[in-house]
Amino acid sequence: MIGKILGHYRIVEKMGAGGMGEVYLAHDERLERNVALKVLPAGSLADEATRSRFRKEALALSKLNHPNIATIHDFDTDGGVDFIAMELVDGETLAQRAKTGALAEKDVLTLAAQVADALEEAHEYGIVHRDLKPANVMVTSKGRAKVLDFGLAKLLHPVNSLTTAETLNQTKGVAGTLPYMSPEQLRDEPVDARSDIFSFGAVLYEMTTGQLPFQEAVVSRLTDAILHRAPVTPRALNSRTSPELERIILKCLEKEPDRRYQSAKELGVDLRRLSAPSALVATDPAPPERKAVSRKMSRTAMVSTAGAAVVLAILLAVFAMMNVGGWRQRIFGRGNTPKIQSLAVLPLANLSADPSQEYFADGMTEELITELAQISGLRVISRTSAMRYKGSREPLPSIAQALNVDAVIEGSVERSGEQVRITAQLINARTDTHLWARSYQRNLRDVLALQTEVARAIAGEVQVQLTPQEHERLDRTRAVNPAAYEAYLRGRYHWNFHTPDEMQKAIGEYQNALHIDSDYPLAYVGLSDVYRMLTLNADAEPQKVVPVAKANAIKALQLDPQLSEAHLSLAYALEMYDWDWAGAEKEFKRSIELSPNNPFAHSYYGRLLSVLGRNSEAFVQGERARELDPVSNQASFLLGTFFHYGRQDDRAVQELNDSITINAHFWPAHLYLGKAFTEKRLYPQALGELQKAQGPTLQALSSMAYVFASSGNESGARKILNDLIQRSKQSYVPPTHIAIVYAGLGEKDQAIAWLQKGFAVKDAHLEFLGVEPVYDSLRSDPRFADMIARLGLPH
């Protein structure tokens, strides 16, 4: 056959042979690609009617398009030779890999989840494999599983009845390889998807233990073992097997189909849950799907079942009337089941077998949180708090207690080319019991619709009522260019580090996203946020960056007026650069209206209220942000600043210490703790905190000089002052940093002069002029009062 042309395929070399024919490496001369060519055994298709039936079935199989299924390209006949052209998969089979013995459990779970996905896809099309075995599962060099020969066992029955247990295919037209066949296959009964699950259980058993579940070498004994005997437990053969994996395998190998997993989807949920980090401490099985596989029922069984149902209904009615054991609540309502009013989305596990895709999994977690955050009837914990549990082995009840939530969403995200699959599980966090699980798959272009679909399903499961406006917002999805979306997610990944270097990387990724899709509103929001933060966290000159931030926010709103993040970005710019307090407040409120669970919107609205001296309102917003972001240092930090500006420094110290407890390296918290200690005249403690606050800005240096001046160390203050003035001649130094030192030294004229310079360059720190305690010595000066009026701040 080597060198022969079949159709438009040139045979290059023989790759293998089996009961369903010989497989060759062939070159598609028409499409210039290599394929696997399966040449069917002579006589398999005895006549044209059989061949026509086969062609029709092969056409149906060719419609399977899934990253874990080897695609069938073509079926043809040439010179009496029937052949199938299939996707050429580079790698080794599970059978080859299993020759070295049992696989590590991590590898078993990674590959098994992919095979479960393949089965789920085929079963949805009504296609049962019928011959699932290690030889029909390829593993690529990148660790991707590919299931071969879907449905071919039904179409091709080897003409010879073999007698060895290793490769035996049953007679009487039964398709399959004996050691992996289900009991119903052996009994020549109709089979459904659950037969494949039994076969998959045998494959899982072999992957885990290095042995077949049924070891008999004689056909009759092997058949009897499959039909009647339980296999040796996997942990007896491999003590490193986890109890949960053993449970999964043995459930697959149940003799009766009704006792197995009822779908590959349900099986996949348990496999993914076990592969997630928290599975080490939380391994409750997923609930069976509500829609079971249909089964034929005899008339006798139907009558018997109906009679039992009548008796049960009478008993339940009596129990309900008498309320025996609380049955009235159990029958007519949820009873004592707590209502889910709050939840956290824990970091989705990256199942792509590619660590470089971690940013994608993190980004999908953040986007799902953002979708759910739009629902006002549900308290959703923020990304910053949720991400603290990435890779955590802490039990779910402990996480729930720390986050103060009723439920958690666990799951995974898997990306294969342009396909994205999300598996989500809703878990009662306090009892660690499963409430719901489901998998979703879409093209990357439709990933926004995918996120909305998952969010809607979760909202439905927790029975939260959506307002008409929330329905409308969740319905608003747009297709997104996959490359632009990936660049955006990489930008978010860098942005979340908040360091000057990472922010520059974020700018590059957001610009890449806009180069690909110039109408991508979230990328404009990303740019707006980075440019705004540069002036606060990196002492960039406001006139060079804040107008850019504002322009990008406006562009995002032009593209999507309903985008909460864009309203928030515009609010920042209006507050810190335009000093348009009313306009900023309007945008903050609109952002919160569109996304009630965004802690940053609440925190920064609180900051505006604090700047305006509306302290009680600021405290309310800060407390709300902390509820939404309970284990993040950011919410406690900002609330601490509100108390500081509200002249409640004892409470400020408490909140700022809480922030530092969460993240000891968060320099802004050390800065404001130093400022709070300064107001309490605890100067040594203040200097200690300010030493720890030496971050990317000069704020800590300025505050240290103020402490020196306030505590009588004038020479120390002037040394820093001279350093700041010299720096200002070389690069931008916010004039307020220098004004603060002069205020501490009691030199009002110089302090006022430097504040006036701040107006000329739009110093972002001027907005705190009305509430910053370091300026208290200047408040009686008419020139200072004029500046307060110029800013439009309350006196």
Positions marked catalytic: 131
Q: Are 217 and 194 in contact (CB under 8 A)?
A: no
Alpha-carbon torsion (99, 102, 106, 108), positive or negative: positive
Asked whether the beta carbons of 148 and 86 are under 8 A apart, the reply is yes
Structure tokens that stand for 637 in this block: 């930090």
CA distance 577 to 582: 13
Q: Residue 128 has which token pair?
A: 């049962």
Q: How far apart are CA 776 and CA 769, in angstroms?
A: 9
C-beta separation of 197 from 251 below 8 A = no
CA distance to 74, 634, 687, per residue, from 660 (Å): 64, 10, 16
DSSP letters spanning 165-223: TTT---STT--S-GGG--HHHHTT----HHHHHHHHHHHHHHHHHSS-S----SHHHHH
Angle CA(100)–CA(91)–CA(120) in degrees, nearest 5? 95
Beta bridge partners of 419: 416, 443
- Distance in angstroms (rounded) separating the CA atoms of residues 19 and 606: 72
Place of tokens 């009840």: 397
- Contact between 740 and 701 under an 8 Å Cβ cutoff? The reply is no
Tokens, residue 138? 């390829």
* Helix 599-611 × helix 615-628 angle, to 10°: 160
Side chain identity at residue 743, one-letter code: A
- CA 340 – CA 338 distance, rounded (Å): 6
Residue closest to 167 by CA, chosen among 147, 155, 153: 153
Name 682's Cβ contacts closer than 8 Å, sequence gap at least 6.
Answer: none
311 residue type, one letter: V
Rounded to whole angstroms, how far apart are CA atoms 315 and 323?
12
Return the DSSP state at 352: S
Q: Which amino acid would we find at residue 171?
A: T
Output phi, psi for 443, to 5 deg. -70, 150
Q: Which two tokens stand for residue 777?
A: 């010595």
Q: Which helix (H) or strand (E) holds 669?
A: helix 667-679
Token reading at 122? 């085929």
How far are the Cα atoms of 192, 248, 264, 299, 606 from residue 184, in angstroms, in the given order? 10, 20, 18, 22, 66
Task: Tell me the C-alpha distance between 166 and 63, whole Å.
Answer: 31
Helix (H) or strand (E) holding 607: helix 599-611
Distances (CA, A) of 283 to 253, 280, 402: 19, 7, 20
With CA atoms as reference, report the closest residue to 590 among 566, 611, 608. 566
Question: How far, in Å, CA of 182 to CA of 133, rounded?
Answer: 12
* Tokens 């149940």, residue located: 254
DSSP H or E segment with residue 399: helix 396-403
Residue linked to tokens 């923020």: 382
Look up residue 225 and give its DSSP letter.
H
Q: What are the φ/ψ torsions at residue 420 (nearest 5 degrees)? A: -125, 130
In 3D space, the residue among 253, 293, 279, 292 whose CA is nearest the CA of residue 425 turns out to be: 279
